[in-house]
Every structure is written in structure tokens, then in C-alpha cells.
Amino acid sequence: MDDDRYMEQAFALAERGRGIAHPNPLVGAVLVRDGEVVGRGWHLGPGEPHAEAMALAEAGERATGATLYCTLEPCSHQGQTPPCADALVAAGIRRAVVALSDPNPLVDGRGLARLREGSVNVDLQDERWGARARKQNAPFLKYHASGLPLVTYKAAVTLDGKVAAAGGDARWISCLDSRRAVHQLRATADAVMVGAGTLRRDDPELTVRLSEGRDPARVIVTHRGQLPVGARVLATAHQTRTIVLAERADAAAGRILEARGAELIEVGEGGLRAGLAALGERGLLDILCEGGPTLAGALLAEGLIDRVLLFVAPLFVGRGAPDLFAAPAVGAVADAWRLHDVEWRPVCDDLLLSGSLTKDGA
């Protein structure tokens, strides 16, 4: 029971790094000695002390003989900060309770091995806590498993499955509280992504309009790199990181984007998969896609959407309105895309549907 209580605290501490720790994982650490919490820590991002180091600093000499509760395996290599496993051994901790091993090839069991070499009793509790740790760090784990970031597709949709009226009007399908929730999602994502069609139609800023919360990077997907010169994302590209993913771009388009402060990435025949891999290489591991049916359908068809968040509004708009996904239809229900781990949550008059996405029969 004590292990559960202290690991709960560690997971809560890890959440304090959400939205700022990337591309590093969320990690929380608690040091306990003689039934008293003597040190707490969480990771704030690259170059900042790791969770274990922060907890050791608070504990000081009280770390000797203590038990560590940590949501992820302590690192064992010299990066921007010293190895946490070495520091824990030097501090004389007695036991380490760890929720999940770290799949990063630079760690991957070496941190646990270093603790054992230093006479620390290591208790890896994957069966009890691994699922929660994997969910908390899903983008980090997805990238190290596949080289691709985790993609969440978010949309507001009517009860008849439409994302706008027949004339293109979509303001506002969702209620005010749902729209506020979207800004909270943006504040914790590494990047928000739309297609060029959405940019031309809505001219969004793709920023966070909350009293607190940093703006994510903005990613625009286009065929040729040609965007409206007056687009608001280009007007603020020097202040907020802006990336344009294009199959190919002519020299003139490239010069315009560069002059505005945007980064151009040409993916050629690699398409969306290559573009997402390029984002991951740049440390953008948690992508919130707010694109329209064309981009959403392309991602769906290539199996590149991991999670879906739909704000379902109590509205009907009828025939002729754009569908949620512009994707090829399946021939049988057995071949449909299906959400798993489904949750429904009321948000004012809407229902927020969330789940992970797989294709049946795959």
C-alpha cells in the first residue's frame, strides 16, 4: 500500500512537466525515508535537472538509506545533465521502485543495471504501473519504437458526422467550453498541424489563448510550399516556431517562407510519413492535428493517426456538408477503423469522445 501511495505522488509530479519537458519524457520521483517523504522532483525539460536529481537535491543527506519511487528508469549516460543512476548510488539510496524501463537506446536497462551494481535493491513494477507509465509518456515511447511522433486528430463534429455546414461555415459547431478545452490541448502539445486548405479558408493563428500556457510549434502541410503571404501564421513565424511540410517547393516559395521565419521541409515521395519522421527528429513528438477532412483522411488512410478526440455537438446539418474524413470507404464493417479504450465525457452541451485508433482486421 505504501508503494502505491508514493508512486501515485510520483505520477502526479511527472505531470508538472507536461508541455515543457519535451522531447524528454515526463518523469516524477519521490524519495522516502522512515515513512517520510524527504525529496520530490519532476523533469522540466532539456538541460534542466532530471526528476531524480531534483529529489536528491531536496533530500540532501536524508537520501542515504531512502527508497526511490520513480515513474521511469533513471538514466545512466552523460547527456546535458549527469547520469541519475550514478547520483542515486552515490547518495546511498537503499531501494528503487520503478514503474517502467526506458526504451531510449542510451538507457534501455542500463540505468537499472547500474543501480544493482551499486547495491540498490531494484523493484521494477511494470505489471502494476507499466500501463499507466506508458500512457503518460505515449509520445516519447511511440517515437523510440517507430521513429514517428504520436498524432492526435482533434475535430468538432455534428451528430451526422459533418465538420461544417454545406457552405463551409463551421463557427461554431462546438460549445464555448469545448473551444477552451482545445486551447488547453494546444498548450500541452509539441505542435499543432493543419493543411494548406484550412489555412486558406480559416487563416488560423494556431496559438494558445489562455492566461497561462505556451504556444506549440505550428505545422502546415502543403503540396508546393505556396501559402498566402498574408497568413497570420507567417506573420508571426519569427516569434512562434512555424514549419511547412511540402512534397516539393519552388525556389520562390522557399525564399518567401525563409524571409518570414518559417522552416521549410521538403519530403518528396516520402509524403506524410516522412514529414512526421522529420518532425520527430526535431523533437516534436506530440502532434495535435486540427486539419480538415483532406489532411485527416490522408493520415487515416496511411495509418498515421494514433488517437482521436471528437467534440460531438448536438447538431444536424444535412446532406452536402463535408464529412469528418475524406478517406476511401471500406467495403465491409469488418474492415472499418475502430476506436479502442473509448471514453465519453460531457463538455457543456457537447460530448468529448476519445480513443486510440486501429483498423479492424489489421
* Residue 52 known to be catalytic: yes
Q: How far is CA 123 from CA 68, 127, 129, 134, 264, in A?
A: 10, 11, 12, 17, 46
The answer to whether 96 and 67 have CB atoms below 8 angstroms apart is yes
CA distance 344 to 338: 15
d(CA 44, CA 25): 10
Cell 546511498, residue located: 92
Cis-peptide into 23, omega within 30 deg: yes
Grid cell locating 317: 446539418
- 269 dihedral zone (left: phi>0; alpha: psi -120 to 50; beta): alpha
Characterise 112 by phi-psi region: left (phi > 0), alpha (psi -120 to 50), beta (else).
alpha
Strand order across the beta sheet in which 307-312 lies: 263-266, 242-246, 217-222, 191-195, 286-289, 150-157, 307-312, 350-359, 337-347
Choosing from 52, 73, 247, 290, which is the catalytic residue? 52
Neighbour tally for 209: CB within 10 Å: 13
CA-CA distance, 81 to 87, in Å (whole number)? 11
- Residue 188: which residues within 8 A CB-CB, separation 6 or more? 18, 19, 286
Closest CA to 92 of 72, 65, 69: 65
The three cell numbers of residue 175 are 460549445
List Cβ neighbours of 31 (8 Å cut-off, separation of 6 or more). 37, 38, 39, 40, 55, 56, 58, 59, 62, 63, 66, 67, 68, 69, 93
Rounded to an integer, what distance in angstroms lies between the CA atom of residue 176 and that of residue 27? 33
Angle subtended at Cα 272 by Cα 269 and Cα 276, rounded to the nearest 5 degrees? 120
Residues with catalytic roles: 52
